[in-house]
Amino acid sequence: MVLSIEKEDNKFRVITQDFSIDWLPDTAENRKVCVVFLRLMQNSDGKQLFTLQQLSCLVSSNNRQASSQHIEDFRDCGKDFKGLVTRQRKVNDSVVSAVLDELHKDPLAEIVELKEKVNISLNRNDLSEMNIKAAMESISVTRIRGEIKKRLQKGEAHYKEEYLLNEIWQTFSSGSCEKAGITPPESLGLAIERSEGMALSDPTAIRSLLTPNATLSLIGNPIKWVIFIMTLYYYGVPLSVLGRWFSVHKTTILRWIISLAVSLWPLVYLWINKKVKGKIVYIDEKWLKIKGKWHYWFVVLDSDTGLPLIYSLLAKKSKWSLRWIGTQLLKLKKVPRIVITDGMLGYDYVLSIDLRIKHLLCHFHHQQGVTHYLNEHFEKEEREKRKKEMKKVLQTEDKRTVKRRFALLKKFAQKLGIEKWVLDTEEKLPKLLPSVGSKIIPKTNNAIERFFRAFNRFYKVRCGFFSIISAKKELIFFMLMYIFIKQPETGKAPLEAIMPEAKEMPFYKLVNDPIAILMNNDIVNQKIKMADFSTKECLVA
């Protein structure tokens, strides 16, 4: 059916060979409603009378996507015309302005970085990567061309990779580092402190800390007390309080604990590298604030042991940064068979090191995405009936059942208004199916989430780091303590997965039971009865 638009005195009407509508004020809202209403019209066979391409002329466009977007908006509003005309667009002038401000600062910033920064600057959390791309389409290239030209003239065309190149140079130029991931104290700008009363540089004592069944008498009291301080600091006691308790400045406390941690870590990491196979690994990252700027801490965690194979602090989450993680795996000769991620974009660059690596997705994050999708597209009363069917797809241990449930849901996708979710899930299904019913492949990346939850407890009381060097020191300290401290769920430390004899090491005993050792096994929770003391003793007390 032929469709045309007629205009007259700020009014318009739609004309076809069979009918026409009355004159309406020529407003964006009226045109939007007309697009949706005409698209809903069907003939006796149930076929739409007008194509999206025909309706695009209503919004002064030759592209069918212009009219398609209005149909999507209508479905997102629960097919409510009032909701359609009153709906506030996510990508408005304030969003475009915020994106432009960020592009002026960093013209080549990744979409995911822009999304995080724009959400923070506007005090929002609902803007997606698609919204950022839509905002960028509204920005003329001439508005940021000048900024790019300035950077080119200064020789900063590849400025984003400067930090990464420095990391690569440091790793491969360090003669004492035969394996990637082992960072010697010297490269961190650290020297073992020789503070008065704290003989932390005694190599015999250091080795004894990590020697199973070594007697505690080989370790001096100063080192025992430093390990006690390390445990308190790990659990969140501020440096200023520790300094006051031990009558030294807080920077002295920090030097003691960091010096000891950096001395011990290379020895521990050698055990991890030697004994952990890394056939199935998790990869995830954590945002850190360093000197007021966001950085990424990437961690590759072995699924069998829960121990970190690779850790790297980088300034950007570019494709080069992610390829660098893959390069470190190659250098360690730890090319995994399966990599499990939370589905964040970009991790395919890690996998480009070897095409035989399988990339799988975490079921928990996929199911969580169902809730996010429904919250974004449907009203509260419409979510529950869809959520049960959408999540049910993966709630089985049989792969054929997953395929059957998904195929059935796909038939009703248009009726339920979840076509976009179905298309996305269909694309992800090959990365979700292998773990269904498998006793070898984990369904979730809970191990690395547990690792980062522990780190969040450690990090949140520090509210960021002051420099790259100090951040690397603190990260080494955290990892050392994490793998030696017993987990509440299992009663075992992560290191025991590869070294059961670790529980006989003095360092293990000191971080897990410091009071009993430092107090010479005195019972501090002994129950005292009032009758044990005389009246005179009570009065004196």
Q: What angle do CA 412, 417, 422 make, to 5 degrees?
A: 65
Mean pLDDT of all residues in the chain?
Answer: 80
> pLDDT class for 167, splitting at 50, 70, 90?
low
Phi-psi region of 276 (alpha: psi -120 to 50; beta: other; left: phi over 0): beta
Asked whether the predicted pLDDT for residue 356 surpasses 70, the reply is: yes
Looking at residue 458, its amino acid is F
- pLDDT tens profile 51-105: 888 888 888 777 777 788 888 878 877 788 877 776 656 667 788 888 888 888 8
Strand pairing partners for 312? Answer: 298
pLDDT attached to residue 527: 52
Asked whether the predicted pLDDT for residue 479 surpasses 90, the reply is: yes
Q: Give all strands (DSSP E) within 17-168, no chain letters.
A: 24-25
What angle do the packed helices 221-234 and 250-275 form, to 10 degrees?
Answer: 90
H or E element, residue 359: strand 358-361
> pLDDT class for 111, splitting at 50, 70, 90?
confident
pLDDT attached to residue 195: 39
> pLDDT class for 365, splitting at 50, 70, 90?
confident
- pLDDT tens profile 301-354: 998 888 998 888 888 777 777 777 777 777 777 778 888 888 776 677 666 666
At 143, list the tokens.
């508005």
Q: What angle do CA 497, 501, 506 make, to 5 degrees?
A: 115
> 216 and 505 in contact (C-beta within 8 Å)?
no
What gap in Å lies between CA 364 and CA 443, rounded to an integer?
Answer: 8
> 497 and 484 in contact (C-beta within 8 Å)?
no
H or E element, residue 340: strand 338-341
> 102 and 117 in contact (C-beta within 8 Å)?
yes
Least confident of 125-139, 452-466, 488-502: 125-139
Give, in order, the Cα–Cα distances in Å from 466 to each of 150, 239, 451, 469.
29, 15, 23, 8
> 318 and 311 in contact (C-beta within 8 Å)?
no
Q: Residue 465 gets which letter from DSSP? A: B
pLDDT attached to residue 496: 92
Asked whether the predicted pLDDT for residue 188 surpasses 50, the reply is: no
> pLDDT class for 153, splitting at 50, 70, 90?
low
> pLDDT class for 485, splitting at 50, 70, 90?
very high
pLDDT attached to residue 482: 93
